[in-house]
Amino acid sequence: MSSSGKVYLVGAGPGDPELITMKGHRLLRTCDAVVYDYLVSTAMLEWLRPDCERHYVGKRAGLHALPQEEIEDLLVRLAREGKQVVRLKGGDPFIFGRGGEEALTLRKHGIAYEVVPAVTAALGCAAYVGVPLTHRKFSSSVTFISGHEQPGKEAVLEIDWGSHAQSGSTLVLYMAMGRLEEICQQLTARGMSPTTPVCVVEWGTTPRQRSVSGQLQDIVWRVQEAGVGAPAVVIIGAVAALGDSLSWFDPVI
C-alpha cells in the first residue's frame, strides 16, 4: 500500500446528518479532500476545514457529474498527492453504493483505504416511517434488492422474482421507482398476493420525507397520484402495514 495518502470510503447515512457515525464525522473534520455524492446532506460540508478540497461527483438519473471510472481516477490522484481523502457516499458504501468497485481500484493502484460503514437507506427510511423490517409475527428475514442495474443488463428479468415472491421475507427495493410497475407485476405473476402491503418512502429521514402506503395491486397508481418519485425505497411485506400505526417522524416541509 502507498504510504502517501489514504482514502476513506465513508457512508453518510440515509439523509439525516445526525445519522452519520462518529468516525465519519471525525474524518470529515480533518480530511484534506472530500469527494461527495448527490444524496449527501449539505450540512455535512459545513464540518470541513476551510482549506479542504471539495469535489462534487453526484449522480442523478440521466445526469452524472463524472463517470464512475473518472471518480475512481480522482480518488487515486488525490491520494497520490499525499492527501487524506474522504469519499462521502449516501447510505452505506458497500450496499448499492459502488464502494466495492472503488475499493478494488484503490487496491489495484496500491492506495491505502478504509471503509467506514453507515446506516443504509433501507434501515433509516423504514425506521423513520415506523416500519420494523423484521417482526416476530410477520417476518424473520429481510432482503435488499436493486431495481436498477448497470446499462445493458435486464435486471428485472435476471432477478429470481419467483423466489422472492414465495420467501415470506420483507423486500426492500433500492432505485426501483422507474421499474416499480414491472416489478409489482413480476411479483404477483409469481405468486405474491396482490394485497401484500407496500410502503414507498421518498427522501427518507430528511425534512422532505414523504411516504405512500398501499398494496402490491395499487401502489403504482397511489405513487403516481401523490407525485412521489426518486430517491425512494420501496418496502414490500406484511410489516409495511405497521407504518401507519408506528410512525413517529414528523418532517417539516
Q: Please give the grid coordinates belonging to residue 114.
A: 478504509
Domains with residue ranges and CATH for the chain: 6-116 (3.40.1010.10), 121-246 (3.30.950.10)
CA-CA distance, 154 to 167, in Å (whole number)?
Answer: 22
Which DSSP state fits 39? T
What's this model's pTM, rounded to 2 decimal places?
A: 0.90
Q: Is 23 a catalytic residue?
A: no
Report residue 64's pLDDT band, with 50, 70 and 90 as the boundaries.
Answer: low
Active site residue 37: yes
Render pLDDT for 177-188 as a digit per residue (tens, 0 to 9): 999 999 999 999
Compute the Cα dihedral for 145, 23, 84, 80 and give only its sign: negative
pLDDT digits (tens, 9 = 90+) for 106-137: 999 999 999 999 999 999 999 999 999 999 89
Q: How far apart are CA 185 and CA 171, in angstroms?
A: 15
The pLDDT-based confidence of 251 (bands split at 50, 70, 90) is confident
Of these residues, 6, 16, 32, 37, which one is catalytic? 37
**From 59, 73, 218, 244, active-site residue:** 59
Length of the chain: 253
Residues 141-199 have pLDDT tens digits of: 999 999 875 545 554 457 899 999 999 999 999 999 999 999 999 999 999 999 999 99
Distances (CA, A) of 174 to 64, 179, 186: 18, 11, 16
Question: Does residue 154 sit in helix, strand or coil?
Answer: coil
**End-to-end C-alpha distance for the chain, whole angstroms:** 47
pLDDT at 2: 44
In the chain, DSSP assigns E strands to: 6-11, 33-36, 53-56, 59-60, 63-64, 84-89, 112-116, 142-146, 170-174, 197-202, 210-215, 232-236
